[in-house]
Chains A and B, each alone.
Chain A
Amino acid sequence: MNLQEEGINIGLAIAGLFGALLMMSKTAGLNVGRSLLATVGGAASANYVTPLILKITKLDNDPTYSYAIAFLLGFAGLRAIELITSKVLVDEPAHHSKRRR
């Protein structure tokens, strides 16, 4: 089984995992399941989002930046994903709902 063919780049995933482990918060021990999910999410986001970032920033021709971006993605955790999606996926809302007071 070739993991590269399955869409898993081990180098990027390990870089993201390393960043996610370094980003572990003080209160990670209070909710182990959530912390574990955040760590795995950091590695997965580094694996799957790094090519997207390289494509957006037009750095995909140079592989030098990929591991650094993967590490930063893992380090920033899922907050970086939210930031990127808010920047990239800008959709007009279908309808404006009124706020209730």
Chain B
Amino acid sequence: MNPLTIVNAAANLIVAGAVLDMAFRVFGRPEHPIHKNPWMLGARKLVSSVVICGAVMNIVTLSTPSWTEVLLNIGFSLNYLWSSYYDRVAHTKHSPASGSLPRKHATGRAPDSGKTEPCPPASSRRRPGSTK
């Protein structure tokens, strides 16, 4: 078998797996913000389905394109693999890429901030909704 065929099949396998993983993670979660935009959801679902079906077809037929297209497929596969990995890491609970606010200590200040916030006097503490 031609090595280009094997490399192309491996690249397409990575593409299909990574896009399917991303599809499950994006479309398969009701809390994902894409569900607020039905047009974007439909368009991305359609595009992802086209990519997966094309990759599966390339694997099944064992196509052997020219080396430039194999190079392009390798680039696509690495790109999708990185996107899938980043999406997986970015939605981890305590990852730095998740964009969540830093946790505060019990003293009320962030762990990295050098400033200290003065504690308000007890007389000025009022419960929300109280008139006094």
Interface SS majority for chain A = helix
Assess whether A29 is in contact with B24, with CB atoms less than 8 Å apart: yes
Known A3-B60, A10-B60, A10-B61: A21·B53 in contact at CB below 8 Å: yes
Nearest CB in chain B: distance from A84 CB, A: 24
Chain A residues whose C-beta falls within 8 Å of the C-beta of B57 in the assembled complex: 10, 14
* Cβ-neighbour of A21 out of B25, B30, B48, B61 (below 8 A): B48
What residues make up the interface of B, taking CB atoms closer than 8 Å to A? 20, 23-25, 27-30, 35, 45-46, 48-50, 52-53, 56-57, 60-61
How long is the Cα–Cα vector from A78 to B27 in the complex, in angstroms?
A: 20
Chain B residues with CB below 8 A from A25, complex form: 28
The number of inter-chain residue pairs (CB within 8 angstroms) is 51
Nearest-neighbor residue (CB-CB) of A29 within chain B: B28
Which A residues fall within an 8 A CB radius of B?
A: 3, 10, 14, 17-18, 21-22, 24-30, 32, 35-36
Q: Give the complex CA separation of A28 and B60 in angstroms.
A: 25
| Bound Cα distance A51, B30 (Å) | 36
Ranked 3 nearest A-B pairs via Cβ: A29-B28, A28-B28, A21-B49
